[in-house]
Amino acid sequence: MKIQPSLYYLGLSCFPISLLSLLNIFYSYYFEYLLDLNSYIIVLILSSIIGFTFFLLGKSKKDEIGIYEQIFLVFLIYVFCSLFISIPFYLSSYGIGFVDSYFESISGLTGTGFSIFTDIKNLDQPLIIWRSSSQWLGGFLFLVCLVLIFSNKQINFKMTDYVYNFEKKINFSKNLLNVSYRIFFIYLILTLIIFLLFSFSGLRIFNSLNLSMSLISSGGFLPTNSLNDILTTNLQLFILTLSFLISILNFYILYNIFFKRDDLKYHSEDLYLFLIFLSFSLIFYLLNSFNILTVLASVLSSIGNSGLSTTTIPNNYNLFFLILTIIGGSVLSNTSGIKLIRIYILIKAFFIEIYRLVKPNVILDSKIMNSEKKINKENIRITFLVFILFFLSLLILSSILLIDTFDFESSFKLSILTLTNTVTSGIYGLEGINFSNLFILSKISLIIFMIIAKIELLAVFLIIRKVLLRS
């Protein structure tokens, strides 16, 4: 793999960090939070200098980036950019070590939401904003990288190609900056909409800002210890539910709504997700006496891999929500998980093969979610491989966490949430985990698997194959 072409794009990814640090500097100075102001100045200087250097070093080779370099680039962005994000945590007055600081930054950038802080409300406001903005930035960079990789004609396992002929609609590799601007525009507008809705509902502007950045990115960081501390009305719960719904949708459908206003009939995956959401919500509501808005928010939060909730669920229903996190949202969204479309492919392929055992010569409909795409052996092979890699990762991570202070159930649940980038909460039976007290091995393992979960297990597999086999 060539490193130089990736440097150009890695340099570009540093500039949004510079911008966010500049905003934090203005906020800290204006509201006189001057104690840790120098940390954001350091981030601004380092990210600007290093970003510009990488930009110049890779500019001449930017068009030579191949598919393996693109996949590796996503990995580099999370590993490298998290170093900048970790600086304010490390240099803060809270006495946080490097591993804990890096853990917090990785958790934010991947949208997972695990935190080494046990009392969020006592943190200074600039640091809270920095946590939330790291999630927001991570969501934006992920969408850009997702489109960059999976619109590439060289790749054989394209998720988008299951349903969409994406490269014909957005040729990202040829017009990176233009498409980035468009993604940023949509992403920013949706963030502002959520922010304004919460603000008009009576929520503090500070809480509205942080919550909007977390929700649009399917993140788990909050400006306080619990959602119950800030969401007090049914209107606010409704806005929360609406925000969760936006975050699970395919970003391509949002792109069409804003810019094209066509091809919406091809987004059957989002329709299936919506039907699953309604079905699970109705079942759970009929079996329990919870507020309907609480049920809707909890179900959508799990599907969207946010994990945020305003309630605690009885232990016998924890598995119910863990399954939803494994399913995940739409392919081209900020969510993680296995993805509904892969589960759909395996289930449909299974029933097709069963039916062919009875009637070998029958011609069956093999279309993927009523699209023009059809299930083939490559789809099945790759999808099956994703399932194997997921459960193998689940086994490895659970075994490592068992070495720590976790029992089997807790390690199993935490592993699922890590591999789906979902925060711990009462709906999964995991609350009050003090991540700062974990063994170093556990923290490092969680860091690695949070990154792996975000950039796709299959992508990691291809990188390993490329490095080991040199093919």
Instruction: Give 310 or 233, the one with higher predicted confidence.
Output: 233
What pLDDT score does 343 carry?
83
Q: Is the per-residue pLDDT at 75 higher than 70?
A: yes
What pLDDT score does 318 carry?
87
Q: In this structure, is the dihedral angle defined by the CA atoms of residues 24, 30, 36 and 38, taken in order, positive or negative?
A: positive
User: Each residue of 327-343: pLDDT tens digit?
Assistant: 887 777 788 888 888 88
What pLDDT score does 396 carry?
94
What pLDDT score does 395 carry?
94
Instruction: Give 41 or 287, the one with higher predicted confidence.
Output: 41
What pLDDT score does 127 carry?
95
Over range 309-314, report the average pLDDT: 82
User: Each residue of 159-190: pLDDT tens digit?
Assistant: 444 433 333 444 444 566 777 787 888 889 99
User: Each residue of 423-434: pLDDT tens digit?
Assistant: 998 889 888 788
Identity of residue 201: S
User: Each residue of 106-157: pLDDT tens digit?
Assistant: 999 999 999 999 889 889 999 999 999 999 999 898 888 776 665 554 443 3
What pLDDT score does 48 carry?
95
What pLDDT score does 162 carry?
40
What pLDDT score does 126 carry?
94
What pLDDT score does 160 carry?
43
What pLDDT score does 311 carry?
82
What pLDDT score does 355 carry?
78
Over range 362-382, report the average pLDDT: 68
- Most confidently modeled range among 71-80, 110-119, 175-184, 312-321: 110-119
Least confidently predicted of 85-99, 139-153, 373-387, 449-463: 139-153
Give a three-class secondary structure readout of 265-318.
Answer: HHCHHHHHHHHHHHHHHHHHHHHCCCCHHHHHHHHHHHHCCCCCCCCCCCHHHH
Cβ atoms within 10 Å, residue 310: 23
Least confidently predicted of 24-28, 376-380, 393-397: 376-380
Instruction: Give 446 or 342, the one with higher predicted confidence.
Output: 446
Residue 362's pLDDT band (boundaries 50, 70, 90)? Answer: low
What pLDDT score does 264 carry?
55
CB-side neighbour CA atoms (13 Å) of 67: 15
Residue 209's pLDDT band (boundaries 50, 70, 90)? Answer: very high
Q: Is the per-residue pLDDT at 213 higher than 90?
A: yes
What pLDDT score does 363 carry?
63
Provide the phi-psi class of 139: left if phi over 0, else alpha when psi is between -120 and 50, else beta.
alpha
Spell out the long-range contacts of 372-376 with Cβ–Cβ below 8 A and sequence spacing 24 or more.
Answer: 373/161, 373/162, 373/163, 375/345, 375/348, 375/349
User: Each residue of 243-287: pLDDT tens digit?
Assistant: 988 888 777 677 666 666 555 555 666 777 777 888 878 887 777
pLDDT, averaged across the chain: 82
Give the rounded percent of residues in the chain with a pLDDT score beyond 70: 82
What pLDDT score does 3 carry?
75
CB-side neighbour CA atoms (13 Å) of 310: 22
